[in-house]
């Protein structure tokens, strides 16, 4: 049985799909080959190009795995990790801030609904 492949271009994949695949690979959920097969991408090099374009790894300072890294390369890698962790920290702090604001807003909405409709919405549970 012969499978007919349809040649695809970069435009056939949405940016959100590309970013989703890159994040999955960077989190270790997929290898590049697994991502290629799972998402039906015809070429592994396509996935690698996305990693280079959208990923957090510093490809310019990469050395082959069988070569020892110089102290400068190790330092660059550590600096890259620090930058990534700072980005992640800022993102998580923003999420926490938004969550805190939502809690306050929902609390106000419940108070207003209880007052407006004269019904108890919250459970009054006694501490044990």
Residue 81 lies in a domain: yes
Let me know whether 88 and 47 are in one domain: no
Residue 17 domain-assigned?
yes
Q: Are 67 and 59 in contact (CB under 8 A)?
A: no
Q: Are residues 36 and 83 in the same domain?
A: no
Residues 97 and 50 both lie in one domain: no
E strand or H helix at 96:
helix 71-117
91 plus 74 within the same structural domain:
yes
pLDDT in tens, 6-42: 556 656 788 888 888 888 888 888 888 888 888 888 8
Summarised one tens digit per residue, pLDDT across range 39-84 is: 888 888 888 888 888 887 655 555 444 557 788 888 888 998 899 9
Enter the tokens of residue 122.
């919250």
Question: Is the same domain home to 36 and 84?
Answer: no
Distance CA(57)–CA(11), nearest Å, equals 23
Question: Which of the 8 DSSP states describes residue 61?
Answer: G
Entry pTM: 0.41
- Total domains in the fold of the chain: 2
The tokens describing 50, both together, are 């996305």
Residues 6+ positions from 26 with CB-CB distance below 8 Å:
51, 55, 56, 57
Write the pLDDT tens digit of every residue in 84-125.
Answer: 999 999 999 999 999 999 999 999 999 999 999 998 888 776
3-state secondary structure of 36: helix
In a domain, 1, yes or no: no
Looking at the fold, whether 18 and 67 belong to one and the same domain comes out as no
The range of the structural domain enclosing residue 76 comes to: 61-119
Claim to verify: residue 51 and residue 65 sit in the same structural domain:
no
């Amino acid at each position: 049985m012969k499978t007919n492949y349809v040649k695809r271009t970069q435009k056939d994949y949405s940016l959100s799909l590309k970013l989703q695949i890159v994040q999955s690979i960077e989190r270790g959920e997929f290898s590049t080959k697994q991502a290629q097969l799972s998402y039906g991408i015809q070429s592994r090099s396509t996935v690698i190009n996305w990693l280079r374009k959208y990923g957090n790894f510093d490809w310019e300072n990469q050395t082959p795995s069988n070569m020892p890294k110089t102290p400068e390369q190790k330092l660059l890698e550590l600096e890259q990790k620090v930058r990534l962790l700072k980005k992640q920290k800022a993102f998580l702090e923003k999420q926490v801030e938004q969550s805190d604001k939502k809690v306050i807003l929902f609390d106000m909405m419940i108070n207003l609904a209880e007052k407006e409709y004269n019904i108890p919405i919250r459970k009054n549970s006694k501490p044990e």
